[in-house]
Chain A
Amino acid sequence: MVGPVHYLVLAAILFALGAAGVVIRRNAIIVLMSIEIMLNAVNLSFLAFSRFPLVPVAPMQAGIYAGQVAVFFVIAVAAAEAAVGLAIVIAVFRSRTSVHVDEFDTLKL
């Protein structure tokens, strides 16, 4: 039988996959994709807690949807962040012709 913990552990594994992607990949576009995976893991975690609340939820109508509403905003903000991030990738590519994080030698890490 699948319970809340299954969903939560799946969320944690996806989050870790995204984090691992950020750490091991050097291609800026793939790093941005890995960040999107992290945000999706967070959404999954929010939704799992929203369906299986640990404590009695507030009786008001809005209270039971707090998690789903949060996910809505995370999706919107992630789209905005992706747009700005990709615009910056284009700007960097114009001045550098490389999208590799490691090859940015003008600035030291």
Chain B
Amino acid sequence: MTILGFDILSVITFLPLLGILLILGIHKEKHTIIKGITFLTALVNFLISLMLYRDFDSTTHEFQFTTNVPWIRESGINYHIGIDGISLFLILLATFLTVISVIACWNDVKEKVKGFMICLLFLELGMIGVFVSLDLFLFYVFWEVMLIPMYLLIGVWGSPARRIYAAVKFFIYTMFGSLLMLVAILVLYFYHYSVTGIYTFDLEKLYQLSIPAGMQTWLFLAFALAFAIKVPMFPFHTWLPDAHTEAPTVGSVLLAAVLLKMGTYGFLRFNLPLFPEATLQFVPLISILAIIGIIYGAMVCIVQKDLKRLIAFSSVSHLGFVMLGIFALNIQGLEGGILQMLNHGFSTGALFLLVGMIYERRHTRMIEEFGGLSKVMPIYATFFMIVMLSSIGLPGLNGFVGEFLILLGTFKSHMVYAVLAALGVILAAVYMLWMFQRVMFGEVTKDENKKLNDLSLREIIVLLPLIFFIIQIGVYPKPFLSRMDASVKHLISQVELKTWKRNTTEESLVHLADFDGVSQGE
């Protein structure tokens, strides 16, 4: 499928570049034009990416919309892109949230608008690039490229106090993991050569490799480190609260909603299918770290005084669920995990936007500075409640579907893990509801809070689409799940549960059908 002679995925990936070039030609004081171009670019890109959704063939696990042309021929490096049911929604999420971000920051960003918008579009390019790459070298390039705009967003437009520290920490942390991954990629590359005599970074060819167990362990660890830092998994999460707290609102939104997903996506795309034996071997370790992340993240949330930091730590907890689901290695767990990646994108994205909106008004994010906001800002409080409940996992909203599937999948593979992880759901209710109570209910204690304006039309426009998806996935997740099915099943068959035959895909399917019925019934 092509647009103006270019294949659609390349268009989606590189359209932001066109926007950047246009913006470069505009005088830096013409803010409205710059923002307008950014918005149009993001919007057009989102609309084009919807065509992916429309034309996506959910019956096959094969990569679709592929393009494969040599880039550095001598070294077997190709510009090979394509998507499957796993990356489809992440791309949509990225293009969708970029549009939302541009509207959200319309009035927030007052200084250096030109640079900000360039960074935003550059970030979109990097994010999409990561999800479409089917060549390890290409993937690595996008993976690193995307660091630069995010680093600048945090460091230049972040909150004054510790933005530089946070930006550099973000950069160095991520870079640390990725450099070791680079070594692993090279080892894999030369191993492929030694077996087949062909130099290639092509993922589909590398999938066919059977790697000796000992080597798998090391490669798995090197890849896992890069992704675990990105996710972030306990104990590699310490960059996250800083980055989130200091980043400008839309920076936090994109960081939480899309960038963190690159970590989990990396596990799905690389670790599981490339190193299946090591994956099985590391299930306990990863699951336990995920559970620690879930519970630790939630407990730290309880004591947070800063709203944004609270949401940042809640990401650690939520992403723990995603990891647990992925490493359940059955269809429910994996689909739940992937769905939860989207859910977290919507809910946490919305939460960061909401916090950003109140910060705009009050220039503080301390919970103690608020109280009784529901009286002053009823619309705000309503939106906040819906999003918060989705984050907790209230049935009928998206969070529930994801967490339920994850727990179901985990229960089937390791009952104990599921029981422990369920504690996290309870703790989530504790910290979220308590926070909500302190911020929204009670008397309006502070004078500054008495005259706050409720949400403007622009802010409502920003939030409504997110709320739509929060409810849509909560009530009827099938359009999402059905497009993942083939790819997830194929992934499971790739992992090839050699020693562990309790879950067959057929059996899983039955459960999934049951579950669809349950969720639609609500």
Chain A bound to chain B: no
